[in-house]
Structure 1
Amino acid sequence: MDQSPEVVAFIREALGLSPDARADDVAALYQSMETELPLQPDIVFKEDERLYFVEVKLNVTSIDTIARMQLLRELWHRREPGRPPVELVLAARTIRPREEQLARELGIRVIKLPRTLGPPLQSEFKPSKSRITSEKSWKIVSRLLKEKSTSIRQLALKEGVSYGWAHKTVEMLISQNIAKKNDSYVQISDVKKLLNGIAWERPMKNMSIAEIPTSFSDSIPAARDITSMLSDQNVPFAFTGYTAGGLYTGYAVRQDAIYLYLDRKNLNLFSELFKAPFNKSNRNCIRAWIYAPDRDIFTDTQQKEGITVVSPAQTLLDLAGFGYSAMDLTKALVNIYDAL
C-alpha cells in the first residue's frame, strides 16, 4: 500500500510519537544493528530506545501478514537478545475481525487507516508538530477548561509545568482557533474543535487491547465487584470512558459494557477472574473493554460509588477519544468540569 508522507504522518500521530521519530532507511537500521534478517518492516519509527516496526496494508484478510510480523519479532530478539524492544504495528484500511483479534492477542497494535488522508480528514482539525493530548499539554488544556479564563503563568503554576511549555501549548491552541487571548488572559473559544482535535490525535480504539465477555449482567455492580477484587490483588486499574463519565455526570449511559485501563501483563489474571464461558445464556452479558495506559493514569484515581475511576481530566480526554458516539456525554462533562 501507499507509504506517502500523509500515511506516515497519520501513523506517527496515532502512535503518539514526535515528528522526528522515523528511520527512513530500514536497510541502514539493520546495518547499524549488525543484523541480517530475511524480513523487513515497511516503516520503522525510533523514539528514545524503542523501535516500532510497522506493516502497511490495504486489506488484511488472512493471517499471513500477522504470522510474518510475529516471525520478524522472534528473529529480531533471538539473534541478538540485547537489541532494543520492538513494538509491532499493523496499519490497514480494513482488517477482518478474526485477524484483528489475533493481532491484539499477540500484542500487535492495530491502526485503522482512513480511506482518504486528504483535506476532508483534516477539515476540523489540522495536526501540528505538538500534540494537545500529550501528557503535559493536556494538563494545560484541562486546567484552562476548568479555570475558564486565566493567564499562562497561572496555568503553569497550577499544573507544575514550565512557563515555556504552557506558553507553547496555548500558542498551539490559538493557532488552531481553539483558544483566544484577551490581553494577558486566555480562554477556550471553540470546544467542538477541541473535542474533534482530541478524537483525531488520540482515538481510544488505538489503545484497546481486549474485549472480554464477563459473567456480570449489570454494568455498575460489575464495575464495583471488579474494583473490589482487583484492589485485593493489588492490580493497578481504573475505569474510564462511559463508565467514569456516567459516574461523574450522573447521566445514564451504556449498560451493556464497562471500560477500564489495565496493564497488558494483567490481562490473563483479569480473564481468569471475570471472563464468562460462552453459552447462549450469556450472549447479553456485560463486556469489558480494556485499554492499555499511554501515561500515568493510576496516580490520580478517584472513588465513585465504590468504583475506582480515572481523574476528571483523564475521563474527559478519553471520552473525547471515542468521537461522535460519546459526544453528548463528553459535552455534559465539559459543562460541569469546572465544578469537579
Structure 2
Amino acid sequence: MIKKESIEYKEILNYIKDSLGIPSDNLNISLSTSYEYYVSDLPLRPDALLEDNDTIYLIEIKSKATIDTIARMNLLRDLWLQNEEMEKRKSIQLVVAAKSFPEREKRIMDQLGIIMLKLPWTFKPGSNEQFVSKTHRITSDRSWKIVSRLLKEKKTSIRQLSLIENVSYGWAHKTVQALLRQNIVKRDYNHVSISNVDKLLNGVAWERPLANLKIDEIRIPFSGSMHAAREITEAFAMQDNMPVGFTTYTAASLYTGYGVRHDAVYLYLKDEHLDHFRELFESHSGNTIKAVVYRPDRDVFQDSRKKEGIRVVSPSQTLLDLAGMGYSTMDITKEMVSTYDSI
C-alpha cells in the first residue's frame, strides 16, 4: 500500500478528487480527527475520506479490486450508517480506485452502487486521463434514463436522479461525471443541470446513430402516416407477444404537435416479426408510403403507450432516437427538448 505521506499518494488523491468532480481546494477529512470523532469504534479504516457538499466518500486505493475489498467496504458503510449523527448529516458513497477491475468484481460493485475509478497503470503527476468519459456511454439504457430525467427535472441532485429512475447512485454519478467532463452538464453545489443541449444531441448522434439499427424499408399501401400507424397498431395488438412501437417523427408529432412529413412511418419490430409485417402490409402498388423498421437494442416496448390509437415508444426513447438521426431532425428534436418537462 502507498504510504499516505508520500508524494504518489497525494497525486493519486488529487486524481481521485478530479475524477469525482471535487474541487481541489475542498477539505480532506482527516483520518486521525473527523473519522475518529464520528466512528472511533469501527475496526475498519478506509485509505482516504473526502467530503463534498452532501456526500462523504469512503475510498479504497488498490492495485486490483477484489471481493475482499468490496466486502470490507460494504461492511464499513453499514457500520458507518449506524452512527445517527452521520446518517442525518451526510450520505455515504463508496469508491474503489484501482488499476484493474475483474469482470466479476465490476458486476458486484455496480449492484452495490460502488464507484469504480480506474487508476493509470503508471501514475504520472498531472495526468489528465478521463477514464469515466472515455468509457461511459451516455446512450446506454441506464445512462439515458439519467440524462432524460435531468432534461425533465431541469436541475436536481445526483441522488434524486438515482432514486427517481431506480438506477444505482454509482451509475448515476458516473453518467453525470461523463457529462461534466464534456461540458454538457454544469454543477451548482450539489445540484446539476444540462448546460449545452446542442453538444448533448451531437454526442448522441455520434455515439448511437439510429441508422445502424435500421433493418428494412418496406412500402405499405397508405396515403398518410397517422392512418398507417393506427392500422399497424391495431393489427399487432391482435397478436400475442408481437410488440410494435412507433418512434422518431411518428411519435414526436404525437408528443409535441409539431408538423412532420407524412410519407413515412418509423417503428421498432423484432427481427422474427418482420416477415409477419411484410405479409400483412407490404405493397408494390403506386399509392404507398414508406415504413422504416428498426431493430430494438434495448426493451423499447416496456414503457410504450397509446396516443390517438397509435402505440408509441416512451418520450425518453423517442428523444434518444430523434437525436440519433442527427442534423436532419434537429428542429423537431429541439422542439421536443423544449417541451420535454411537460410531456
Task: Tell me, yes or no, whether TM beats 0.5.
Answer: yes
1:179 equivalenced with 2:179 (yes/no): no
Paired residue type of 2:251: A
Matching residue of 1:53: none
Aligned length: 212
Q: 1 CA distance for matches of 2:321 and 2:266?
A: 10
1:273: how far off? 0.1
Pick from 300, 305, 309: which aligns with 2:308? 305
Q: Which runs of 5+ in 1 are unaligned?
A: 1-47, 49-126
- For 2:150, the equivalent position in structure 1 comes to 144
1 CA distance for matches of 2:192 and 2:257? Answer: 30
TM-score relative to the length of structure 1: 0.61
Secondary structure in structure 1 of the residue aligned to 2:273? helix
Q: Percent identity?
A: 60
Tell me what 1:239 maps to: 246
**Structure 1: how far apart are the matches of 2:307 and 2:206?**
29
1: distance between equivalents of 2:188 and 2:254? 35
Name the counterpart of 2:90: none
Match of 2:338 in 1: 335
1:204 to 194, 202, 210: 210
Deviation of the 1:323 alpha carbon: 0.4
Name the structure 1 match of 2:233. 227
Paired with 1:140 and 1:301, the residues of 2 have a C-alpha distance of 18
Equivalence map 1:258-297=2 (5 Å)? 258-276=265-283, 278-279=284-285, 281-282=286-287, 285-297=288-300
The counterpart of 1:314, out of the listed 314, 317, 329, is 317
- Matched with 1:194 is 200
Which of 244, 252, 264 is the matching residue for 1:257? 264
CA distance in 2, matches of 1:302, 1:269: 22
Structure 2: how far apart are the matches of 1:263 and 1:128? 31
SS in structure 2 at match of 1:128: helix
CA separation in 2, counterparts of 1:236 and 1:310? Answer: 11
Deviations 1:245-265 (A, max 9, x none): 111000110111000000000
C-alpha displacement of 1:184: 0.2
- Counterparts of 1:42-81 in structure 2 under 5 Å? none
Shift of 1:137: 0.3
RMSD: 1.4
Match of 2:172 among 166, 171, 182: 166
- TM-score scaled by length of structure 2: 0.61
Aligned equivalents of 1:178, 1:152: Cα separation in 2: 15
Return the alpha-carbon distance in structure 2 between the equivalents of residues 243 and 256 of structure 1: 11
Deviation larger for 229-238 or 139-148: 229-238
Secondary structure, counterpart of 2:229 in structure 1: helix
Residue deviations 1:270-318, cap 9 Å, x none? 0000000x24x33xx1110000000011110011110000000000000
Between the aligned partners of 2:173 and 2:164, the Cα distance in structure 1 is: 14
Letter in 2 for 1:295: R
1:227, CA displacement in angstroms?
0.3
Moved over 4 A (4+): none
Q: What do the CA deviations read for 1:18-72 (whole angstroms, capped 9, x no partner)?
A: xxxxxxxxxxxxxxxxxxxxxxxxxxxxxx9xxxxxxxxxxxxxxxxxxxxxxxx
User: Which letter maps to 1:308?
Assistant: R
Aligned partners of 1:236 and 1:230: how far apart in 2? Answer: 7
2:135 partner SS: coil
CA distance in 1, matches of 2:252, 2:183: 27
* Structure with bigger gyration radius: 2
Gaps in structure 2 of 5+ consecutive residues = 1-102, 104-132
Task: State the SS of the aligned residue for 1:187.
Answer: strand
Partner of 1:106: none
User: CA offset at residue 233 of structure 1?
Assistant: 1.5
Deviation of the 1:128 alpha carbon: 2.1
SS at match of 2:217: strand
The aligned residue for residue 81 of structure 1 is none
1:173-202: CA deviation from partner (whole Å, max 9, x where unpaired): 000000010000000000000000000000
